[in-house]
Structure 1
């Protein structure tokens, strides 16, 4: 029974204490009237004008929204948390029923004027009319500005799709130099506690810092990005290489099939389609360098054109007339056996061997150009495969 009475008294005391220290809207309204009487938001915060105002910042990255290399558009979602102290907005909590903090619109007080210096389209600053600022009794202001930041980021696509990029959000405090305002970051890195992983980019490193540029305080938030290349290897580089190598196998098709030229041209067109796809993804500018992948595909297409020409030449050799002799240099080049002939020294003319030997020699003469075409196909097949493989190896040796 005694314990119940004790608990009841304790609860009553707590309720009385809570009601004593709680405040209502009248108290907060009175606080606002007193704070903004004779307050001029055009004047920089800070009573001591001989020293710059200390502004502390941190940046939380939420997501990488977009990175379009062709247009150099880089978009991220994040939030800046900015704190400073304005002594004009301080108060004694005991005079306002123990109010220790309140919320107010950012339009009512002085703000650090930070404006983007590398916007993609329109110039913009931090915050909006919808943002509220936490104001504490000692004059401390906490300004949380969540935005979607669109900036220009010139992509270096030299090693695409194994490239690394550096993009940054740059802001300058126009009108406030180093003698007026000093900006520091609570962390030298971007805070990634709320970050959602991007499907296309890995964040290798980040940096947040302020510096003096042309007498103005500049705030920089930088990201070192590395492209996730697995998708591009499986969906672009390997299919492109396989299609290119497939063209070499045209030399294994029989010349009598009549499909060799059509097959070669079809595969060549497929390589051109891949080239078009890649060119659409890359920026038109050639600075600082053109993508090495573009050179690789250009090599594939050029070799494909050469393969097509060789196929046409091989088909022509296969259709040469039987009576046309094979030049000696071709026999040597392709290691072909010399035709058997028998010379009649009595008449000074060359005659073919009679009966069965004559028929065998005639058959050898009629098939000699076909032998040249077959040997030429073998040579082109091995050479083209070697050249495709060499290009592929050189490309990966450069980009990796």
Structure 2
């Protein structure tokens, strides 16, 4: 019996200390003043000052509170599902229908799954963050029945939601989100807040957007593409529902970088068109050019050099025509490969396409010159060479100067009189020729081909001239077309 009295006495002491220390029902051992401002801290004025300072620093981040499962279930039933429920998701969530609901939209980019330049479409995966204030969702709340919870997740089928749709969709224009998504409601219980007794609704639906995009490949593969992802709401004007994005750019926290594209910049812009409110997300993408430099530019430059080297091959080898045609077909194949990855537009066309087309023309010219050179090389030695070609080839090979020096050291050729005198002394059959015949013979002794120019020399000179011309043309074309591309790096 004494033991029972002792236990009862300890219980009385414990209860009295509990009441004196808490005043408003604080549990023993609770961190008074830090977790709950309603719990007074034990001690003097210094601890009171500490409590005030702590409350001031924690007002920016409200403490999350949750009721019991029965109380939160009761809130859902009383607000949405019971026969006496006060909330209707078909009703504009304002008591005054003249009010404007401001909707904050943010976009968190997850990945760029596809960018089809030919079709002009951009496909991305992202998460929309849609926030608005609902005035009717908190009407049935009672702290005594539903507890002191500050937030709750509600199936979005129970709630009114702004009908956000992808405006410039390349497939179908449908509202975003799914009935399986939940909307998180944050209760606002602050008399100083203009949205007191409202519910702050936050909805984060995942989206896969496929939108049209105007592609500019003029500086491919150093190009930058700017694409728009535009959202709007159907059925409401900007006087009823208006977008006001608080973020100025994309959220890239969870972004998985693309292997082909890098995001140069992004921005969110609100626009009002024909009484409708739109949010336009502009994404500027910059192509990573390493793949194209290795697989396109470097081979094309090498092929341009190889095209000129065809004129170094010996003419007797018989491989020149096959070599030239192979180079021409290689340029044609590269032109086809690049054309397959470009939009079917004429304005603008890629500078790389112009460069490749120019190199195809150069390769075709080299093939034609090669065939023409072989034709000259295989001519008969007795075929006369036109005088203009003789002087041109002799001038290029400096034969004119060397021939004149040789003529100064040798005895001059016999003139017409000397020939007549000599033929008379010999008394041969030539002596019977007239003076006119002798003069014609003398003129034949000075043919136009006095520089010993033959067809093989003409062919070899044409080879050297073509080698220099094709090489210089390839370099000039590369400078004209590739320097503007290099300036974009």
* TM surpasses 0.5: yes
Structure 1 residue ranges, 4+ long, deviating more than 6 angstroms after superposition: 9-12, 338-344
Instruction: Name which of 264, 268, 274 aligns with 1:204.
Output: 264
Q: Distance in 2 between matches of 1:343 and 1:64?
A: 91
Q: Verify the 8 A CA contact 1:92 1:137 in the aligned structure 2.
A: no
Matched, 1:349 2:441: yes
Matched, 1:39 2:93: no
Instruction: Name which of 304, 321, 326 aligns with 1:244.
Output: 304
Q: Verify the 8 A CA contact 1:342 1:351 in the aligned structure 2.
A: no
User: Which residue matches 1:69?
Assistant: 117
Distance 1:140 1:329, change over 3 A: same
Tell me whether 104-113 or 376-385 shows the greater mean CA deviation: 104-113
User: Which residue matches 1:386?
Assistant: 472
User: Which residue matches 2:358?
Assistant: 299
SS of the residue corresponding to residue 276 of structure 1 reads helix
User: Which residue matches 2:177?
Assistant: 127
User: Which residue matches 2:276?
Assistant: 216
Instruction: Name which of 60, 72, 77 aligns with 1:28.
Output: 72
User: Which residue matches 1:323?
Assistant: 382
Q: Distance in 2 between matches of 1:22 and 1:58?
A: 27
User: Which residue matches 2:349?
Assistant: 290
The aligned length equals 380
User: Which residue matches 2:338?
Assistant: 278
Q: Distance in 2 between matches of 1:269 and 1:343?
A: 59
Q: Distance in 2 between matches of 1:333 and 1:115?
A: 76
SS of the residue corresponding to residue 257 of structure 2 reads coil
Return the structure number with greater strand share. Answer: 1
Matched, 1:50 2:109: no
Structure 1 gaps of 5+ residues are 1-5, 354-360
Q: Deviations over 1:237-271 (max 9, x none)?
A: 12122113211100000100000000010111111
User: Which residue matches 2:126?
Assistant: 78
Q: Distance in 2 between matches of 1:77 and 1:343?
A: 97
SS of the residue corresponding to residue 195 of structure 1 reads coil
**Per-residue deviation, 1:120:** 1.6
Q: Verify the 8 A CA contact 1:93 1:100 in the aligned structure 2.
A: no
Instruction: Name which of 107, 120, 136 aligns with 1:88.
Output: 136
User: Which residue matches 2:433?
Assistant: none
**Per-residue deviation, 1:23:** 3.5
SS of the residue corresponding to residue 244 of structure 2 reads strand
Of the two, which has the highest radius of gyration? 2
Pick 1 or 2: higher relative contact order, CA cutoff 8 A, min separation 6. 1
SS of the residue corresponding to residue 206 of structure 1 reads strand
Q: Distance in 2 between matches of 1:11 and 1:35?
A: 32
**Per-residue deviation, 1:309:** 0.2
Q: Distance in 1 between matches of 2:134 and 2:263?
A: 37
**Per-residue deviation, 1:87:** 1.5
User: Which residue matches 1:225?
Assistant: 285
Tell me whether 129-138 or 88-97 shows the greater mean CA deviation: 88-97
Distance 1:166 1:128, change over 3 A: same
Q: Verify the 8 A CA contact 2:66 2:151 in the aligned structure 1.
A: no
Instruction: Name which of 305, 309, 312 aligns with 2:371.
Output: 312
**Per-residue deviation, 1:352:** 8.8
Q: Verify the 8 A CA contact 2:320 2:370 in the aligned structure 1.
A: yes
**Per-residue deviation, 1:289:** 0.9
Q: Distance in 2 between matches of 1:106 and 1:226?
A: 38
Tell me whether 248-257 or 318-327 shows the greater mean CA deviation: 318-327
Q: Deviations over 1:79-112 (max 9, x none)?
A: 1111111111113444312222211222221111
Structure 2 gaps of 5+ residues are 1-13, 19-25, 37-64, 189-198, 420-437
Q: Distance in 1 between matches of 2:277 and 2:298?
A: 48
User: So what's the TM-score if we normalise by structure 1?
Assistant: 0.88
Q: Distance in 2 between matches of 1:73 and 1:219?
A: 19
RMSD over equivalenced CA pairs, Å: 2.7
Q: Distance in 2 between matches of 1:243 and 1:124?
A: 51
Q: Verify the 8 A CA contact 2:66 2:150 in the aligned structure 1.
A: no
SS of the residue corresponding to residue 204 of structure 2 reads strand
Matched, 1:154 2:214: yes
User: Which residue matches 2:147?
Assistant: 97
User: Which residue matches 1:358?
Assistant: none
**Per-residue deviation, 1:285:** 2.5
Q: Verify the 8 A CA contact 1:77 1:147 in the aligned structure 2.
A: yes
Distance 1:342 1:308, change over 3 A: farther
User: So what's the TM-score if we normalise by structure 2?
Assistant: 0.72
